[in-house]
Amino acid sequence: MKVPFLDLKTQYESIKDEINAAIQEVLDSCAFAGGPFVQAFEKQFAEFCGCDHCIGVGSGTEALWLALLALGVGPGDEVITVPNTFIATAEAISFCGATPVFVDIDEKTYTMDPQKLEDYLQARLHDSRPPGLQAAMPKAVIPVHLYGQTADMDPIMAIARKHGLYVIEDACQAHGAEYKGQPAGSIGDAGCFSFYPGKNLGAYGEAGAVTTNNTQLAGQIALLRDHGQSEKYYHDKIGWNARMDGIQGAVLGVKLNHLSAWNQARRQRAEVYGNLLSGINNLILPYNADDTAHVYHVYAIRTRNRDALLRYLADNNIYCGIHYPVPIHLQAAYSNSNIQNNGLDVSKRVCSELLSLPMFPELTQEQQIRVRDKIQEYNLSPQYDLPDLRGRQSAQRTQS
Ligand SMILES: Cc1ncc(COP(=O)(O)O)c(C=O)c1O
């Protein structure tokens, strides 16, 4: 039996008629770049996120970049984020001419540790260098809702407000996730989403969006994504072409109607994994904080023998992923930059232990049992060295 990491084809088959009809409508109307299908999706997604505005763009990377630009982030500014995220979070900061600064993550949720954020900002406040050498306080913070679980937003918002920082939620992996009943993307000054095909809400190409309740900010982002023009060929500011395609808007409009059911199916698969895997030693299962509704974009377990287990599963036709193998501050792309790394011990440690198991709404119980059987088989095999992780099992909570 083959267990793919995700299965976009099966999902497409289940909604083929609706999707094909929606694409045909775009073809018939020739509204290919921006236009009514994008506008309809923007309205629908803003409502889904409990926000006043949604601005469709070309990707999650553009969503982050334009949100930062619209908030005035530019050369000389610092923006704080975490190192265990997709590189786009940091690239968006760098592409504004600003500098990414990293604070560490919480060992259970793998999202930004609010205490580390506060520690960093306190250290900056008490900078003992002569005034001329002191840098300005950071301008913004980007917590990442990693794997489909929101970061601990109450303390992050309180700390950010205390120090005058904007908050941009990187919700690229968290469509439909909630924090204390608030939808991801509705908590900070802006929320940024990716609709990359493999996401919980995935386009059939590239797409992204920014959500916000700030009307002025929404207007700025809408200008920036369309060459700064308020009227055709009248350019109020220098912008870019970051429009969403009409076909993606139409596809996303259809798929959004299914998202809540798909997220529920992911939660159910997470619960099944929790029950199947909880008896196996040397694994730490995902932690779902009480006050969050997790949408399991990624189901990541932890083991010290990650690379060997990954190979063993692949040899048995079970395909896993690693999110992410190298923290951003250690990536070659950032090796020459003057990035401060503030005791990023948790990020450095977990990146060699995290293994993302197959997870998608159409995953069958049979496939999940196969995954369990092969992990168990690997663990029982005497040829593998099994360091004891039990001391760290306090981080474990199964999805019961
Ligand atoms: C956390 C995070 N941020 C940003 C992005 C960038 O989104 P996109 O690939 O649509 O540009 C992604 C996509 O993988 C992501 O997972």
Q: pLDDT confidence of 129, banded at 50, 70, 90?
A: confident
Task: Return the pLDDT at 338.
Answer: 64
Give distance in angstroms: CA of 243 to centre of ligand 1.
17
Instruction: Please name the residue that has the structure tokens 């941009």.
Output: 168
Residues 123, 150: Cα–Cα separation, whole Å? 26
Radius of gyration of the chain (CA): 22
Chain Cα centroid distance, residue 68: 16
Of the chain, the percentage scoring pLDDT greater than 70 comes to 93
Is pLDDT of 204 > 50? Answer: yes
Q: Could you please report the per-residue DSSP string of 165-200?
A: -EEEEE-TT-TT-EETTEETTSSSSEEEEE--TTSS
Does the beta carbon of 177 sit less than 6 angstroms from any atom of ligand 1?
Answer: no
CA of 147 to the centre of ligand 1 (A): 11
Model pLDDT for residues 4-29, shown as the tens digit of each residue: 999 999 999 999 999 999 999 999 99
Which of 146, 147, 172 has the most ligand 1 atoms within 8 A of CB, as the residue to mutate?
A: 172
For range 343-353, the mean pLDDT? 94
CB of 172 closer than 6 angstroms to any ligand 1 atom: yes
Instruction: Kindly state if the Cβ of 86 falls inside 6 Å of ligand 1.
Output: yes
Model pLDDT, residue 381 = 65
Query: Once rounded to an integer, what is the mean pLDDT over residues 71-100?
Result: 97
Q: Which of 31-40, 263-272, 340-349, 391-400 has the weakest average pLDDT?
A: 391-400
Is any ligand 1 atom within 6 A of the Cβ of residue 85? yes
Predicted local confidence at residue 388, as pLDDT: 45
Pairing of strands 178-179, 182-183: antiparallel
Q: First CA to last CA across the chain, in angstroms? A: 27
Q: Please state, in angstroms and rounded to a whole number, the distance separating the CA atoms of residues 278 and 293.
A: 21
CB-CB contact of 190 with 234 (8 Å): no
> Helices 365-380 and 246-277 meet at what angle, rounded to 10?
50
pLDDT digits (tens, 9 = 90+) for 229-242: 999 999 999 999 99
Whether residue 396 is predicted with pLDDT greater than 70 in this model: the reply is no
Integer CA distances (angstroms), 83 to 150, 297, 395, in order: 16, 19, 20
Number of neighbours of residue 197 by Cβ within 10 angstroms: 14
**How large is the average pLDDT for residues 374-386?**
71
**Would you state the structure tokens that stand for residue 370, as one six-digit string?**
């196969």
Mutate which of 6, 84, 196 for ligand 1 pocket (most atoms within 8 A of beta carbon) = 196
Q: Would you say the CB of residue 173 lies under 6 angstroms from ligand 1?
A: yes
CA of 297 to the centre of ligand 1 (A): 12
Distance (Å, whole) CA 195 – CA 216: 24
| pLDDT score of 390 more than 60 | no
Whether 194 lines ligand 1, by a CB cut-off of 6 Å, is: yes
Rounded CA-CA distance 238/249 in Å is 25
Q: Separation of 302 CA from ligand 1 center, angstroms? A: 22
Token pair in block for residue 366: 């049979």
Closest CA to 65 of 220, 179, 187, 246: 220
- What's the predicted TM-score (pTM) here? 0.94
- Give the β-pairing of 178-179 and 99-102: unpaired
CA 201/CA 379 separation, integer angstroms: 35
383 pLDDT exceeds 60? no
